[in-house]
Chain A
Amino acid sequence: MSETSPSFYEAELERTYHELPFRQEQFVQLRQSKVFMEKHYRSKLVIDDLADKAAMSRFHFIRVFKSMYGISPMTYLRDLRVTKAKHLLQKGFSVTDVCLNVGYESLPSFSSAFKKCAGYTPREYRSNQHSNLE
């Protein structure tokens, strides 16, 4: 790290960071909801659980989360569950076991969410993994 004057990029980072339309504590609040999702994605979660963790009202939480991360909190949770599901399918767990392990209560809703994210059904993904081992 040089002690010379900051580069154009560093100066822009500094400037834009201070112009972000959120307060520092809001970043921390939203991170708390993400940590909660990481810990509890196996359980049934509703938006009020997540908003509580961020100490925000439901509607404010949804709006701020979407502004910060570009997706809604429930979409973030869905993507997180599908990522976890992919790892389990790669390890050879059955689709039903994986479905229950990542917080879905029905196979159709799990398959639908998985296909939206991955482009394949969980069954197709699992078959592809086993026919194309790396």
Chain B
Amino acid sequence: MIKIYVTSIPVEDQEKALDFYTRILGFIKKKEIPLGEHKWLTVVSPAEQSGVELLLEPMAFEPAKVYYKALKDAGIPCTSFEVDDIDDEYQRLVDLGVEFSVTPREAGTVKIAVLDDTCGNYVQLMQEL
């Protein structure tokens, strides 16, 4: 059986991203392995600590910077995370100072919201309805 073990999100600053993705969003740091000027830095969901890892990947490739800036300028999230209750999570994050480009709204079988991760990306939160 093939499985997804890691997926990545490009970040402008790995230390800043680690702080945001752990202290604010609530992920747990799993791996931090020095690799030249950067690190292999992953976080996991507290609910699935043996599950898929999210790699906070340094945005070091110039053409990639252009692509991700274009996504951000268009308001397009570069990834999506599931939450149990999106209204509660939205309020918790707003209280922590997180900025949202899309406040919670229904979209068919899901309810979504989009936040700024302060590391160069919009990230979508999703609750299946």
Chain A residues packing against B (C-beta within 8 Å): 1-2, 6-10, 13, 17, 20, 22, 27, 30-31, 68-69, 119, 132, 134
Besides A13-B105, A17-B107, 11 more A-B contacts (Cβ < 8 Å) are: A1-B102, A6-B75, A8-B74, A9-B75, A9-B76, A9-B122, A10-B102, A27-B129, A30-B109, A68-B108, A134-B50
Q: Is A1 touching B103 in the complex (CB atoms < 8 A)? A: yes
Q: Which residue, B74, B102, B109, B114, has most C-beta atoms of chain A within 10 A?
A: B109
A-B contact pairs, 14 of them (CB 8 A): A1-B103, A7-B101, A8-B74, A8-B75, A8-B76, A9-B76, A9-B101, A10-B75, A13-B102, A13-B107, A17-B107, A17-B108, A22-B108, A68-B108
Chain B residue with minimal CB distance to A22?
B108
Q: Give B1-25 interface residues, CB cut-off 8 Å to A.
A: 1, 3
Q: Given the known inter-chain contacts A132-B50, A134-B49, please indicate yes or no for A1 contacting B108, CB distance below 8 A.
A: no
Chain A residue with minimal CB distance to B49?
A134
Q: Is A7 touching B103 in the complex (CB atoms < 8 A)? A: no
**In whole Å, how far is B17's beta carbon from the nearest beta carbon of chain A?**
21
Tell me which residues across on chain A come within 8 A of B77, comparing CB atoms.
9
Q: Which residue, A8, A9, A17, has most C-beta atoms of chain B within 10 A?
A: A9
Q: Is A7 touching B108 in the complex (CB atoms < 8 A)? A: no
Tell me which residues across on chain A come within 8 A of B122, comparing CB atoms.
9
Q: Is B1 touching A9 in the complex (CB atoms < 8 A)? A: no
